Amino acid sequence: MDVYGLLGNPVEHSLSPPMHEAAYEALDYDARYVTFETDPDAVDAALDGAKALGIEGLNVTIPFKETIAERVACDETARRVGAVNTIDFGGDDVTGHNTDVEGVRRALAHHDVALDGATAILVGAGGAGRAVAFALADAGAAVHVANRTTEKAVSLAQDLPAASAHDLDEVPALLSEADLLANATSVGMESDDIPVPASALHEDLAVFDAVYTPLDTRLLSAAEAVGAQTIDGAWMLLYQGVAALELWTDRDPPVADMNRALRAELA
């Protein structure tokens, strides 16, 4: 039996176990996906232990994504983002990847959102914001990053090929000319708050919200109300998992089964 898992703290509410185990079942693959709540002081021991025990792969979540990036051989994307969400123990080296970036790319591609030449407004410049920003910029969008703490937007914009940094209060004006709005702040998580004024939304926008608890955030409801296209946060979650499964195995991920399991868990 192959073993995969999630390294983080906390991990108890993770949706990755049901999503990945639905994939193993659909593939008739003898594997398990386990959560490992790890003490921050024990990250090195956890990595060595996972390798020694023959664990095939680990996802990484808060607060270890940046720490792990300093400890494994990062691929190009993980190195640029400065964060690892997927570790592969299968090769000679322990390698680090960032499938959050690929998750955003595929979530938007799934919804036929054109990014090449598009104007994208990203609110949020934390961990999720960095992954969203690289996905948008690498797909050819001009990215305007706005964040409550403007210095973090400035720093992120400097790491991107074509980007500018803004205060949150500039967002309504920026949105009038934009094709895409992506929310990567935690605003709307377990609350009815909205990260940008609803009055700034319009029907020519595609609106992606990285928040998935709840799935129907106030931002997405407001976007839907003006006729904008909406993409909820479960799509990013789904496709980062799909991309991780592709890295770990040579199997074809059963995307529909994984999506069903994820949405059942979120419902």
Question: Where in the sequence numbering do the catalytic residues fall?
Answer: 65
Give the count of beta carbons closer than 10 Å to the beta carbon of residue 179.
18
Of 23 and 133, the one with the shorter C-beta distance to ligand ATR is 133
Of 18 and 126, the one with the shorter C-beta distance to ligand ATR is 126
Q: Give how far Cα 6 sits from Cα of 3, 14, 34, Å.
A: 11, 9, 6
Of 13 and 52, the one with the shorter C-beta distance to ligand ATR is 13
Of 55 and 107, the one with the shorter C-beta distance to ligand ATR is 107
**Least CB distance to ligand ATR at residue 162 (A):** 20
| Side-chain-facing half-sphere of 197: CA atoms under 13 Å | 11
58 within 8 A of 7, measured Cβ to Cβ: yes
State how far the Cα of 58 lies from the Cα of 56, in Å rounded to an integer. 7
Q: Give how far Cα 115 sits from Cα of 37, 134, 200, Å.
A: 37, 12, 21
Residues that bind ligand ATR (CB under 6 A): 124-129, 147-149, 152, 184-187
Instruction: Spell out where 9-116 has E strands.
Output: 31-37, 57-60, 73-74, 86-88, 95-97
243 within 8 A of 256, measured Cβ to Cβ: no
Of 120 and 128, the one with the shorter C-beta distance to ligand ATR is 128
86 SS3 class: strand
**Least CB distance to ligand ATR at residue 106 (A):** 19
Of 194 and 258, the one with the shorter C-beta distance to ligand ATR is 194
**Least CB distance to ligand ATR at residue 256 (A):** 27
185: left (phi over 0), alpha (psi -120 to 50) or beta: beta
Tokens 């709005």, residue?
Answer: 181
Q: Locate 1 and state its tokens.
A: 């039996």
**Least CB distance to ligand ATR at residue 128 (A):** 3
82 within 8 A of 130, measured Cβ to Cβ: yes
**Least CB distance to ligand ATR at residue 200 (A):** 15
**Least CB distance to ligand ATR at residue 51 (A):** 26
Q: What is the number of the residue whose Cβ is closest to ligand ATR?
A: 126
101 within 8 A of 131, measured Cβ to Cβ: yes
